[in-house]
Every structure is written in structure tokens, then in C-alpha cells.
Amino acid sequence: MTVASPLPYSDNEIQALRARFDNAGQGHVFNFYDSINEDEKAELLKQLMKIDVENLNKIYDKAIEGAANALHSQQGNSLQPLSTEVFDSVLKQDPTQLKEWETLGLEKIAEGKVAVILMAGGQGTRLGSSDPKGCYNINLPSGKSLFQLQAERILKVQELTQRYRRDGQDVIIPWYIMTSGPTNKRTFDFFTKNNFFGLKKENVIFFEQGTLPCLTMDGKIILESKSKVAIAPDGNGGIYKALQEKGVISDLKRRGVEYSHCYCVDNCLARVADPIFIGYCVSKGTDCGVKVVGKAAPEEPVGVVCVRNGKYGVVEYSEISEETAHERHPDGSLKYNAANIANHFFSTAFLERVPTFQAELEYHIAKKKIKYTDLETGEQITPKANSGMKLECFVFDVFPYAQNMSVLEVERHEEFSPLKNAPGTGADCPETSRRDVVAQHVRFIEKAGGKVMRTTDDYTELMFEISPVVSYSGEGIEHIVKGKTVKTPATIETLDDLIRVTC
């Protein structure tokens, strides 16, 4: 009896594939093909069939050229700060203007013209977790994950906009969540286990970003094992290609969505579907917008949104000279002060237009310790130093192509607290994220005219939290807390909870 081969391709297809990789100078991926079993061959072939090897070589060449040009031209960059025509700040705006922006944003959300896009492809590796970063619990009193905090903010905005809905139908903010290969299933399972945190399942849409093979420093595809190519997500800028290929753009148009708020999962203070930001961008006719915060100091190691060689972009701190970083306006403010926080606004028309300039976008080189298989011995090596590169594109790489750019500065302590580092690090870590959320909730009470009873001023220790479904940004609680004191410990999930702990 003849056993059918598990190979999914014919001999002619396999020969043609080998010839393609040979001609592209990447034939080494077949080094061990004849020595591995049929299942392993099938695994390798499926991977290789998905790789556009000729385009991969072009991406590598362009990335190398771009890195060399950037290094060569750092001193020659013509940098200019953002003009007042494209830059505004909530810190300096009249409350009446902020209210106008907020109302316009709420109206557009109520009309079903706004969606939220979340970049959530990363794992919590640096946090000591193999789970998707959005599943991470920053040890708030409630134990809520980042995903839950963000879902509850969407629920609250839907509630706040309901009175603007003229036909009486429920307000819906569709939530598109970009995952990656390692996080896709676990993210979906996490949402399913938690009943989508109260959101309707059909309005939470998951889509997977693309991947690229990892390369050696001289551009050769790395074999992780004899039958597997080492791959990595293509960076948060891979969102644009994924939006097209995974049908998200089509779904936005089907739903009548004209604007999207796009942000990164690791910011515990992100104001998801922020009506002020949305209203601001819509009022300006923006096709591509970005939130920024003021730099903490001239030497803070953050990318800055500015104009380089006549085009909008993000300039990394390493590309700005110390002298330039310290330049100031006549009023004393830093000229290059707009720190990028990966928080964006896009018109659907702009997202549709990205493919017209997609080929011009550069990939950036990230040197990494990448596990590889020795091509001579077949031994798998776990390197102690950088052994190769991942090629990534960044979400801000599209800025130079914006026809109507807008930049809005927001308060750092209200909207930006990234989770990047392991517990105990002391900066951008779970403890600082928890601290910043709790401190914000204390401010909500104080701004509403109340006080929070506490035995410590250390917000990493204070047991106090207000659910986003109670208050999105401090609204709706003044009638309860004004002139009164809120007792702690308190985890406030409803207005009734707030009433019970207020005296």
C-alpha cells in the first residue's frame, strides 16, 4: 500500500521554488531539505511559498541604503519645528474651544463615522510574560488588564455620545485590533473568555499584521531550524498593508466610518476614541493627525514630530544634535518639543491612499539576538550578541505623505504612561503605570471638588481606582463628591459604589 506524501506541492512547483530562491541568492534555505522528514519539508515549503524573495531582497537593499543615508546626513538634516498652522495644544486652549472640539467629536461618533484601531501585536516579553501585552495586569486594585481598561473606555464613550444619536439606535464604535502571529489566537481567546468586556462581539474585529523573514547582517534569510525560517512581525507600520489585505478598509467603508483613532496598546492612559482629538482633527480637515506630549527635558530620549527636509516626520533623539535639542522659542519653550506617543488620527480616504505610495516607504533595521541554525553543522545556536536583523516599518513613516497634517499636544500625566520595562525597573514599568492611573483618579475627585482620604501619598500603594465606565475623564461625578471626602480603599465600578464611599 502506497502512503500519500504530505507535501502540499508538486515536484515541478518545488523545483520552481528552489530555482527562485537560488536566483535570488537565498538558496541556502534548502540546505537541509534532503535530510528532514516529510512533515518538516511540508512545513518549510509552506513558509517559503509565502515569501516574495525578490521583494525581500529589495526591502533589504533599501533598508541598508536608508540607514547609510541617515547616518551620512544626520548633520546635514534641515530640521524645522512645527508651525502654528499645524500645531495646537490643549494646555493653552480656551475651554470654549476644547468644548467645541469635544462636541464635534461626540457628534461624529454618534453618527457612526468613527472607529478605533489598536496596535496590539507585541508580547510582554520584557515584562516577563509570554502573553500578549494587552493581557497584562498592572496590579490595579481591580486587577484589570490593559485590554479591559481600553474596552471600558469605548463603552463609556458610546454611552456619552448616545444623546447625540438622533435616530435612537445604539452608538457603535467598531474596535479593530491588530495582532501578530504569536499573539493572534491568545488575544482572541482572552477576549472570548472575558465576554469581550461588555462590547458586542461583532464590533470587535481582529486582524493579523504581516511578517518578514529575519536576515543576517549581509541580507541572508536566517533558518531558525532546519525546517523553519526565522520570522518577525513587520513593525507597527505594517498596519497599513494589513488594513488593506485583511479587509479592514472595506469594512470601514461598509460601516460608513470616515475617521479612525489609532493608538498603541501599552499606554494605560490612552483616551480611546477621544472626542476632543477627533473633533480637533475633523475641524481642521485632517487626513493624518498625531497626538504629542511636551518633552520632559531637552535630552529626553524620545522621537520628535517636526519637519525634516521640508516634510513632516518623526526624528529620533539620536538624530538631533545637543545644540538643536536645546533651541528655544522667544517664550522659552523648546522648539523641538513634540514628543511622539504613537497616537494617531486617520481619515479613511488617507488609509485608502497609502497603497499609492506604499512602495516608497522604507523599512528600518532592528539588530537583534536571533536564534539560528549553523548552515554547516545544522546545530541550533542561541546567540549572546546580535546575530541578525528584523526589518520593520513604523506607523509614522506615512507622515511625509499627509496632505493636511495636524498635531495636538496633550498633557503627559493625563494621557501618556507607557509600559515598556520589567517590574521593578522604576521607569515605564508596571509600577509607574499603576501609579499614573491611580494618581489620575485622585485628580478626577479633586477636580470635581472632593477629596480622597488616604494614608499615603505613594500612588503605587494607594488602593483607589475608578472604572472608566463610571467616568471617562473625570466627568459625571461632581454632584456626588463636591465638598465631600472619598474613603479608601475603594474600587469604584458604579456610581452607587462612589456614593457608598463618599461622606
pLDDT band at 241, cuts 50/70/90?
Answer: very high
The grid coordinates listed for 15 are 523545483
The grid coordinates listed for 234 are 513587520
pLDDT tens string 88-120: 999 999 999 999 999 999 999 999 999 999 999
Are the CB atoms for 308 and 399 separated by under 8 Å? Answer: no
> What are the CA-CA distances from residue 100 to residues 189, 230, 251, 288 (Å)?
40, 50, 29, 20
d(CA 173, CA 364): 33
The grid coordinates listed for 475 are 466627568
- pLDDT at residue 77, as a whole number: 60
- pLDDT at residue 284, as a whole number: 97
d(CA 243, CA 210): 10
As a whole number, the mean pLDDT across the chain is 93
- pLDDT at residue 136, as a whole number: 95
Are the CB atoms for 316 and 301 separated by under 8 Å? Answer: no
Spacing of C-alpha 221 from chain mean position: 27
Q: Average pLDDT for residues 372-386, to the nearest whole number? A: 94
- pLDDT at residue 125, as a whole number: 80
Residue 76 pLDDT greater than 90, yes or no? no
- pLDDT at residue 198, as a whole number: 97
The grid coordinates listed for 96 are 470654549
d(CA 213, CA 232): 6
d(CA 116, CA 156): 14
pLDDT band at 362, cuts 50/70/90?
Answer: confident
Are the CB atoms for 439 and 459 separated by under 8 Å? Answer: yes
Q: Average pLDDT for residues 340-362, to the nearest whole number? A: 95
Are the CB atoms for 371 and 383 separated by under 8 Å? Answer: yes
Higher pLDDT, 306 or 317: 306
To the nearest whole percent, how much of the chain has pLDDT over 70?
A: 97
- pLDDT at residue 113, as a whole number: 98
Q: Domain map of the chain by residue range? A: 66-415, 430-500
To the nearest whole percent, how much of the chain has pLDDT over 90?
A: 85
d(CA 261, CA 275): 10
Spacing of C-alpha 279 from chain mean position: 21
Closest to 257 (Cα-Cα) out of 369, 349, 178, 357: 349
- pLDDT at residue 2, as a whole number: 41
Q: Right CATH number for 66-415 from 1.10.3720.10, 3.90.550.10, 3.40.640.10, 1.10.260.40?
A: 3.90.550.10
**Which DSSP state fits 487?**
-
d(CA 371, CA 374): 10
Beta-strand (E) ranges in 139-297?
Answer: 175-179, 204-208, 211-213, 223-225, 228-229, 231-233, 259-264, 288-294
The grid coordinates listed for 233 are 512581525
pLDDT tens string 134-178: 999 999 999 999 999 999 999 999 999 999 998 989 999 999 999
Q: Average pLDDT for residues 241-261, to the nearest whole number? A: 97
Higher pLDDT, 406 or 6: 406
- pLDDT at residue 1, as a whole number: 38
pLDDT band at 70, cuts 50/70/90?
Answer: low
- pLDDT at residue 5, as a whole number: 53
Closest to 408 (Cα-Cα) out of 281, 263, 258, 275: 281
- 306 three-state secondary structure: strand
Are the CB atoms for 315 and 81 separated by under 8 Å? Answer: no
Higher pLDDT, 362 or 327: 327
pLDDT tens string 122-133: 888 888 888 999
Residue 289 pLDDT greater than 80, yes or no? yes
- pLDDT at residue 130, as a whole number: 83
Q: What residue type is assigned to position 414 of the chain? A: E
Q: Which residues, in sequence order, are bridge partners of residue 315?
A: 304
For residue 330, say if its preceding peptide bond is cis, omega within 30 degrees of 0: no
